[in-house]
Each structure stands twice: as structure tokens, then as C-alpha cells.
A and B are shown apart, each in its own frame.
Chain A
Amino acid sequence: MIDRSASDARPDAASGTGRPAPASAGIFDPGLLDRCISCGFCLPVCPTYRLTGQETSSPRGRITLMRALESGRLADGDPTLAEEASFCLGCRACETVCPAGVRYGELLEQWRDHQWRGRRRPLLARLLMAVVSRPALLGLQRLVRRYATGKAGRRAVPGGADRPASLMLGCVERGLYPEVSRAVLELRPELAVPGGQGCCGALHAHNGDSAAGRELARKLGERLDGTIVTTAGGCAAHLAHHLGRDRVAELSEYLERTGYRPAGEVRVNGRRARVALQDSCHLRNALGVTRPPRELIAAVADYVELPNAGDCCGAAGTYSLLRPADSRAVLRPKLEAIEAADVDYVVALNPGCLRQLRQGLRRARSRAKAIHLAELLVMAARAANRSTPR
């Protein structure tokens, strides 16, 4: 109920920030910001709240901070605003448990647009954004020369997909893990690989330049015909948001949709391999895709569900570079779960997660190896080919 005395009590609570100004700063879409009812259901699933136990690093607390920024209650240069906008992983786990339907990911983009505008963006993020805007720097040309068909969907896709499909090469994959795209083409040689692919813009949207993020997504959508197939859950979610859900398929979705039947099996030391999965946050939390990758793994190996498979691994795009200590702290329980599960492989669905897990497992001297889903399936298919002489 409404108690008028509550507002009377404010002046003696000398916070120095004053009353919320009735005017709005126009930083946030007010409809989005109004949605949160502060029930707190998001707290237990937030990785940064789990780290600190402090309200300000929970989704509910951050929305309160956004509201304070919007109303002018907190000053533009407030250090807590700056810290929390950066500390958030942007994993969007909070959205999956929010019954009020708060679209936190969009709010975070709007927040960082404001918070990191111009020169206030972390230098490293600025550098990365500049690099991915120049595909030539990414070693793209080699890969394209080898695989590019230039036109999409000339060959029929087995399983009856009646629309053309193009493989998106991704800026991180093509720089760090070109073998992932090669593996996809070994599984699905019919995929077109048009040249001149730019960045999808997820990097920009997550680092305070959502306008560029939108524009890059639009351009890539023009460049790639038909269904855009991606090996990065984060890119899939970003593209789906801007181009429409039906334009985009993450690899496991695409394989399922086109009736891919995994061949063979992955064996280690004469037995079927034990394989766990690391969900891609945006694939799981934004697009709700969790079943197809698990089923694909279970078809070629003994699938082991990690108790925290759905929790962020701490890679979170540029986060592992911008906040390495926090990133490792978020990863720690994941590594412990992997050790406890005694698995041979951990499958990632996103190049950032792949990098994070590889580094973490190496540092922990784990026997488990991190690989991309495409690589696991190719490993199984090759084993099948070897055992069935033509």
C-alpha cells in the first residue's frame, strides 16, 4: 500500500543524492525499465551476484541503478554505475527466471551505449571493434579462397531444407579457430560461404555501440543468403534479434532441422568418450536452444550433464579480456564441475567459451579437452569412415 510518510522520510536519510527527479534522461526505453517489479527471482542465477553477494551486482540491483541514472538520482559519472555496467557479464541468465518478462539484455545494451559512449569505452574493446570491422586482418581471405562458392544454396541440402543456407565465418573463429568452420563444411559441404563477410555486430552491441551492432547485422544479412548458419551462440542471438529468428540457425539447430544423422562414435582409450556440454549463454538464455546440442553429443558419445552446464563460463565476449580476474572467478566452479564429472571432452557452442574453457582447463592441468561441437561430430564421422572401408 501507499504510505505518504515514506517520502517524508527521505530528507533525513541524507544520501546526498537528493530526490529522484521526475524528468527522465531518455537513456532507456521506459517501457523496458518499468517492467521490473524487484521480486528478486533473478538473484540466485546471477553469476556476479554469486561472486559478491551484493545487491548492486545483481540484475535487480542493476535495474535499480539504471532507474537512478534515468531519473537523475545518480550522477552521470557515478563510479558504481560505471563499475556495475562493466562487471555484468551480459549472460542474460536472469531473463530465463524472470516471470515479469524483463528484457535485461536490451536494457544492458542501452546502459552501455550511454555508459561507454565515445572515449569512455574500454580501450581494449575499442581496439577489438576496430579490428573486426576489417575482415582482411582476420585471415578470412585464406579460408574463403579455400571454401567460398560465392553463391548460396546451389546444391540441395539433404533432409529437405528447401531454402538456401550460408555459413557465417565469425570474426573470432576465423582468427582463432578456422578449423571449426572447416569442420562444419566437412559435415555440411552444401553450405555456401560467401566472401566479404564482416562482423555480425554482437561485439559492438555488447560494448556500448548498439547502433553499429544493428548496422553490421543488417549488412551481414544482405551478404549472406537464406538461413545464416553460425557456430557462435552469441552471434546467433544478436542476428536473430535484428534480422528475425527465422533467418538464423546455430549449428546444432541447423543440423537438426536438416535431418543430419551423426555417424560413428568418439572413443577414448578403447571406450566410448565421456562428453559434457557448456551451453552458450545467449543460445540458451536468449534463444532457448538447449536440446539439439545435447542430442547430437549423446548420439556419438556418452553425454554427461554438468550440474552447472547452463551457467556462464565467464568468457562473455570481451569480458575475459576486459576483466580477466572476474572472468576466472566465474569460471572456477565450472572447472570444478568438469573435474568432478571426469569427462574426456567439454563441448562449446561459441568460440569465446571455447577459448575460455581451453585456457582454464590448461591452467588447471585437466585431462578434459574443450572442443567445438562441429569438431566432435567430425571426429566421430571420420572414425566411422575409417571403420567402414569403401
Chain B
Amino acid sequence: MSTPRAAVVGAVAATCMALAGPAQAQLPSYGVGRPPTPEEIRAWDIAVGPDGAELPPGEGTAVSGKPVYDAKCAACHGATGREGPQDVLVGGQGSLATAKPLKTIGSYWPYATTVYDYIYRAMPFTQPESLTAAEVYGVTAYLLYLNGIIGERDVIDRRTLPQVKMPNRHGFVPDPRPEKFPR
């Protein structure tokens, strides 16, 4: 599968030199598309990877996040993140190898940055992308605190969040399939 990639990259280089589309057109062979503005990229580029490079300014602690959680999250996830009715967020550490595994942020999620990413993009369920950066940092800190991963007054921001060590950080393995079944 590496051959097509090399071929495409080569073809692109050749195409760039051979053709120039209309002014501003970004796809050289077909003369369509325009470059995005920095504002457009900023507005849409909400994904936060494990290195946290995309994290915005701002900060929060479990203390600052608790009232936000109580007001906007507890109705679906329970007073302490353990009660549901929607996804249980707290607890379950040590349960993954048992007959009743409980997959929560604390027991299962390998990266703390994912907590920030997901809360901002998709929560609260009926008001996605409505929380401020400080609110998301706060709720993230509160959920990490409820899971026993950070202290109540630890500051979570763009520098500290990627450094949080999640309990199941090394719990994932690559796909070994196709499996060989003894017959």
C-alpha cells in the first residue's frame, strides 16, 4: 500500500510544475477550490490530539468544574459520574479483566486530551460546542479528580492536560487479525 502513495506524491509534484489553475484555485489540475482563511481553520479545527497542540488558552480545576458539571452534565451522567443513566464516567478501575468490565474515563480512556476534545465537540448532548474553554477545562479536571487521577486543586490547562497519566494509557494493542482459529 505504500506504492500508490509514492506515486500520488510524485504525480502531484509533476502536476504542480505543469499546470497553474485560475488565481486562488487550490486544486491545480481542475482549477477549483480556494484557500481557507485562518479564521475558518480556527473555527473548525477543534480536534485535540494527545500532544495537546490544538488546546486553547484557559484553565480550570475540579473545584471550578463541579458547578458546571452539576448544572450541565449530572442529569445524564449522575451526581458523581457513576449513576448514569447515560455513559458512566467514573470508577471501574481494575474491572477490565473481570466478567463485568466497567469502561469509564478513569478505567479505560488512554488519553486525557480526549476528554477535553469530546466534551467540547459533543457535550452537553443538546448544546454541543456551547461551553467556554474554562468550563471544559473545569469539567475535564472534575472528571479526572472524581476518577482519582488528579487532585482537587490541580490546574488543568493546555500545558498540564497532555501530561496527565491515564491509568489505562498502555492498555491498547494493535489489531492482530486475521485470526487463526484452531480447527
A pairs with B: no
